[in-house]
Amino acid sequence: MIPSSDEKRKLYQLSLKQVKEALADETDITALLASVVCILKTNLPHGFWIGFYRVDTKNPRQLVVGPYQGTFGCLRIDFGAGVCGTCAERREAVIVADVHQFPGHIACDAASASEIVLPLFDQTGSLYAVLDLDAVKLGAFDEVDQHGLEAILEIIRKKL
């Protein structure tokens, strides 16, 4: 089920509140990323697969999977490849209403139909990771998701 815009706003407000409360005193990055994924996966009914791909420090043109919840995710994605790699290359959010129409989409799970991917920067402005959400319905994500997720990523960015 895809929530209405009003429902989405409430779900993101709740998620932001939980993230702020749960992570206020935490600095460990794995704990932060894993907990954000858990909170989002618990709250968002349209989030079939939710997780982070981190920039590989040994190969900075490649993403490597980080904390996620969902079915088995591809381990590595090159910059420029698929939706995640496109987000990493452009350094901006990418919303795809129908992944089958997106050239080079990487189908980790054939059930995925739409997707949103957002960049997570550190405090120096370097790309640290991307946050990827997949849905089994077409057109599940829009600007309401983007703004809700950006507010949550901002909490993490301040700790990077």
Write the binding mask 37 to 56 for ligand SME: x where contact by CB under 6 A, - elsewhere: ------------x-------
Q: Which of 134, 141, 148, 152 binds ligand SME (CB under 6 A)?
A: 134
- Binning the chain into helix, strand and coil, the percentages to the nearest 5 are 40, 25, 40
Distance CA 52, CA 12 (A): 18
SS3 138: coil
Contact call for residue 77 and ligand SME (CB under 6 A): yes
Q: Which of 50, 67, 128, 132 binds ligand SME (CB under 6 A)?
A: 132
Candidates 23-31, 107-115, 142-150, 151-159; binding stretch for ligand SME (CB under 6 A): 107-115
Q: Which of 8, 46, 54, 105 binds ligand SME (CB under 6 A)?
A: 105
Distance CA 79, CA 26 (A): 30
What does R_g of the chain's alpha carbons equal in angstroms? 14
E strand map for the chain:
49-55, 62-69, 76-78, 94-96, 114-121, 127-135
Contact call for residue 114 and ligand SME (CB under 6 A): no
Query: Measured from the CB of residue 130, what is the shortest distance to ligand SME in angstroms?
Result: 9
Contact call for residue 112 and ligand SME (CB under 6 A): yes
Distance CA 125, CA 117 (A): 18
Query: Measured from the CB of residue 155, what is the shortest distance to ligand SME in angstroms?
Result: 23
Residues forming contacts to ligand SME in the complex (CB under 6 A) are 49, 73-74, 77, 82-84, 105-106, 108, 112, 115, 132, 134
